[in-house]
Amino acid sequence: MAATGWSDLPSELLAEIAGGLVELGDIARFRSVCSSWRSAAGAAAAAPPPQPPWLLLPSSPSRLFFCPREDRLYPDLRMPAVTAEAHHRRRRLYASPHGWTLAIDPTDLAASLIHPFTGAVRALPPLPAFFAETDDLAWDWSPHGVMASCGEGLLFCASDPPAAAWAPIPAMADCNASSINYSVGEFFVFEEDVCRTTIVDAVTLAIAAVIPAPAVELPAEARIAVAGDELFLLVKSKWMYLFGDDIDFSKAFRVDHRSVDPAWQELTGIGGRALFVDSLHGFAMDTAGFENLEGDTIYSVTTKEVNDRRSTTVKYSVSVFSLENRSSKKLACRLNKLEMALRGESPSWTIPSLNEG
C-alpha cells in the first residue's frame, strides 16, 4: 500500500485503526507504511493485545517462527542479517518467553541477545570455554541481566551497567541446572535429576527459597512452569514411555512458592489456562480469546527424526495434553506436514512482543 494520500489521514483515525489490530504482525506492518502511521501506532505497539506463544524452530537455512493462532510460519522475522562466515557456522538460537533470544556462536562462543520482533541486538561477553563441551544449556533473561548454565554451576551477566564478563554465582556452584525461568524479580533454577527448584533473587543473586521434590518416583523427564505465585511441576516417569504418545505426563503438581512452608499438591486442573513447556522454559497463559488454544492443558513440542540415505531431518509437532482426561493429541496445523534439517538446538516457546524492556 503506497503511503501517498494515506499518510494524510487524520492522526485520530489512524490511531483508532491501529488500536483495532490484534496480531503483532499486523501492527508491525501498519507501522512500516510511513512515519505518520508509525507514530499513530505507538500506543498499539507499546501495549498490544495479549499474544499467544510462538515457536522458534531450529530449521535451516532460515529460522522459522510458528504462530499457532494464525497457523502460519514466518522465516527469520526481523532477525539481524549475519555474515557468510557466521552463517556457515550456524549460530545457535535459544528463545525466552520474554521476547529476547540468546544467540551463541558454537566456534568462539560469542554471545548476544537478539529481539526477533524488533531487530534489536545487545552484545554479551563471550561464554567460558567449557560451554563448548556440552550441548546442554539453561538460561533466561531479566531486566537486571542474563543467567546461564551448561549443567553444573550458574553464571550471571549484569546488564546495568553492562558486565565485561560472566561471573559465577558462588551459592549455586554445585547446582546441576537443567532449566532457568525468570518471573517477577526472581530466577527459578530447576534441577531435573532431583526435581528441586531453587529461587534466586534477580538483583542480589541470593537464594530466596529452595523447594524440594514432592514424594514421587524420580522421573525420566520433568519440567517446571512459573505463573506469578504458582509453580507447576510436570513429571513423566520412566514406565510411562511404555504407553507411547498417548500420555505425556504421569503427574502434575502445584505449589504457592511464596507461602511460609511451600508444599507440593497434586494438580487436577488449571481452569482456563494452559501451560507451555519446552526443554528451556515453562509458563502459563490464559487461553480466552485464542480460538485454537484450549484451557486446562499442557502444550509441549515433540521432535521426531526422519532418516533416509541422504540426510537426517526432523518433524515437529505440538502436543496438547489434557489435564482433565490425561490424554494427549497433536495440534492440527501445517507444522505436522513439514520436515526440517536437524540442528543442535531444540524448539522453544516465546511470547511475541515489541517491548524490549
Residue 12's pLDDT is 81
In a domain, 356, yes or no: no
Between CA 147 and CA 211 the distance in angstroms is: 19
Do 25 and 160 belong to one domain? no
Chain mean position to CA 244: 26
Tell me if 170 is assigned to some domain.
yes
Q: Identify whether residues 114 and 169 lie together within a single domain.
A: yes
The verdict on residue 34 lying in a domain is yes
Q: Is 255 inside any structural domain?
A: yes
Give yes or no: residues 36 and 148 share one domain.
no
Q: In 3-state terms, what secondary structure has residue 179?
A: strand
| Helix (H) or strand (E) segment spanning residue 26 | helix 24-31
- What pLDDT, on a 0 to 100 scale, did the predictor assign at position 72? 84
- Judge if 100 and 218 occupy the same domain: yes
**Rounded Cα gap, residues 64 and 86, in angstroms:** 18
CATH at residue 152: 2.40.128.630
pLDDT at 219: 61
- d(Cα 214, Cα 272) in Å, to the nearest integer? 25
Residue 99 sits at φ, ψ, to 5 deg, of 95, -35
Is 202 found in the same domain as 96? yes
Question: Can you give the pLDDT at residue 293?
Answer: 82
* Rounded CA separation 147/156 (Å): 5
Q: How far apart are CA 106 and CA 91, in angstroms?
A: 6
Residue by residue, pLDDT tens for the chain (357 residues) are 444 455 567 778 888 887 777 777 677 777 777 778 778 777 776 777 778 899 998 876 667 888 888 888 887 666 555 444 444 456 788 999 998 999 998 889 999 999 888 888 999 999 999 888 777 899 999 999 999 999 888 999 999 888 999 999 999 998 999 999 999 999 999 999 888 999 999 999 999 999 998 887 766 688 999 999 999 998 876 554 444 544 566 688 999 999 888 889 998 889 999 999 998 999 999 988 777 788 999 999 888 887 766 667 888 889 888 888 888 888 888 888 888 877 778 899 998 887 777
Please report whether residue 357 resides in a domain. no
Residues 160 and 212 in one domain: yes
The contacts of residue 286 (CB under 8 Å, 6+ apart) are 50, 272, 273
For residue 328, list its beta bridge partners.
321
Residue 150 cell numbers, joined = 551448561
Q: What pTM, to 2 d.p., does this model score? A: 0.85
In one-letter notation, the amino acid at residue 5 is G
Torsion sign across C-alpha atoms 71, 77, 83, 86:
negative
Whether residue 355 is contained in a domain is answered as no
Looking at the structure, tell me whether residues 2 and 131 fall in a common domain.
no
The predicted pLDDT at position 3 comes to 45
Residue 153 lies in a domain: yes
Task: Clarify whether residues 40 and 62 are in a common domain.
Answer: no
* 21 DSSP β-pair partners: none
Q: How far is CA 237 from CA 37, 40, 232, 325, in A?
A: 53, 53, 16, 18
Q: Are residues 2 and 147 in the same domain?
A: no
Instruction: Say whether both 29 and 81 belong to one domain.
Output: no
> Into how many domains does the chain fold?
2
In the numeric block, the cell 535429576 is attached to: 193
Contact (Cβ atoms closer than 8 angstroms) between residue 78 and residue 118? yes
Residue type, 192: E
The residues, any chain, with a CB within 8 Å of residue 138's CB and separated by 6 or more, are: 148, 149, 150, 177, 178, 179, 180, 189, 280
**Among 322, 324, 304, 323, residue whose Cα is nearest residue 314:** 304
- DSSP characters for 262-304? ---EE----TTEEEEE-SS-EEEEE-TT-TT--SSEEEEEEEE
For residue 143, what pLDDT is reported? 94
Per-residue confidence (pLDDT) for residue 83, from 0 to 100: 44
**Is 122 found in the same domain as 7?**
no
CA distances from 341 to 24, 86, 304, 338 (A): 28, 18, 12, 10
Other CB atoms within a 10 A radius of the CB of residue 240 amount to 18
26: containing domain: 1-48
Tell whether 44 is covered by a domain.
Answer: yes
Which residues lie below 8 Å from residue 43, measured CB to CB, with a gap of 6+?
15, 18, 19
According to the model, what pLDDT value does residue 167 have?
A: 96
State the pLDDT at residue 51.
80
Residues 300 and 328 in one domain: yes
